[in-house]
């Protein structure tokens, strides 16, 4: 039976990839593993792996305890420091993880992966549309709104910097979609349908039956994060997954597509 430390390959790939193989503690730049060993790294449970551990949650399953959302990559020294549960609460550790990943993503973005691999967005889109995606009901966007309107309407907080920064890629996405359409390809519709479906599924998982705007606002950032994760999983599972793309480059491309989906109202709700 799988236990609280039975990490899947996908979970480890995502954890080390989004942390850029660095300790997630603020100000720490220690590299977690190299080709020789991973002795400097600790995979830490935000909510304890076993009863009696720090921040134990009796309502979690072992599968949830071993999942990416409950794990934090730290060096040995900072793992010990975060055992102080009065200072390092669940919320504080989750915020630490989010902040570190956003900083690593900014660094990756500044490295301009599209310059290194101009076909990156096309390659990622091809992986998404190579998977069978069921149809979802589409509602036309009826109102004109700014990106700030939508951020405020949906109460987006932690993903606001990502959306603000990645909006600059709208021109590149629009040009790529126009190129697809000129060639008679339905890839634009395919990728937008996939994003919409991932949002519908994310709402079902996080919100259950209560999909009111109040509950969507309460979970807005979690919904965006879950859509990104689901898209990444589609790419990992893609039948067209025979070309190698660095994990951080996939995450960069997925972030561009998610921000585009946000602006096209495939993710979160249209301002009224």
pLDDT at 200: 95
Maximum Cα–Cα distance across the chain: 61
Q: What pLDDT digit, counting tens, does each position of 137-166 carry?
A: 666 655 678 899 999 999 999 899 889 988
Paired tokens of 123: 């390659």
pLDDT at 134: 65
CA dihedral 259, 224, 26, 253 (to 10 degrees): -40
DSSP state for residue 74 in the 8-state scheme = E
Whole-number Å distance between alpha carbons of 23 and 39: 12
pLDDT at 31: 87
Sign of the alpha-carbon torsion through 227, 228, 232, 238:
positive
Q: What is the mean pLDDT of the chain?
A: 87
Contact predicate 124/117, CB 8 Å: no
Residues of the chain with pLDDT under 70: 1, 34-40, 109-112, 132-143, 238-244
* pTM for the structure as a whole: 0.76
């Amino acid at each position: 039976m799988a236990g609280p430390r039975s990490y899947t390959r996908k979970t480890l790939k995502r954890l080390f990839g989004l942390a850029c193989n660095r300790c997630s503690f603020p100000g720490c730049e220690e590299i977690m593993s190299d080709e020789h060993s991973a002795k400097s790294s600790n995979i830490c449970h935000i909510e304890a792996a076993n009863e009696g551990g720090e921040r134990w949650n009796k309502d979690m399953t072992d599968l949830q305890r071993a999942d990416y959302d409950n794990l934090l990559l730290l060096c040995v020294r900072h793992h010990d420091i975060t055992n102080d549960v009065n200072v390092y609460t669940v919320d504080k550790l989750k915020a630490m993880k989010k902040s570190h990943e956003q900083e690593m993503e900014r660094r990756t973005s500044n490295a301009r992966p599209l310059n290194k691999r101009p076909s990156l967005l096309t390659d990622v889109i091809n992986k998404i549309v190579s998977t069978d995606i069921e149809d979802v009901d589409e509602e036309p966007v009826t109102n004109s709104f700014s990106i700030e309107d939508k951020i405020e309407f949906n109460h987006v907080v932690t993903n606001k910097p990502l959306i603000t920064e990645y909006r600059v890629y709208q021109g590149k996405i629009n040009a790529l979609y126009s190129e697809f359409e000129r060639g008679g390809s339905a890839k634009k519709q395919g990728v937008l349908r996939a994003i919409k479906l991932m949002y519908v599924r994310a709402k079902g998982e996080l919100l259950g039956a209560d999909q009111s705007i109040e509950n969507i606002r309460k979970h807005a950032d979690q919904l965006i994060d879950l859509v990104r994760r689901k898209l990444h999983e589609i790419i990992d599972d893609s039948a067209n997954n025979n070309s190698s793309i660095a994990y951080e480059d996939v995450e960069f491309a997925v972030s561009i597509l998610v921000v585009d989906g946000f602006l096209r109202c495939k993710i979160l709700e249209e301002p009224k």
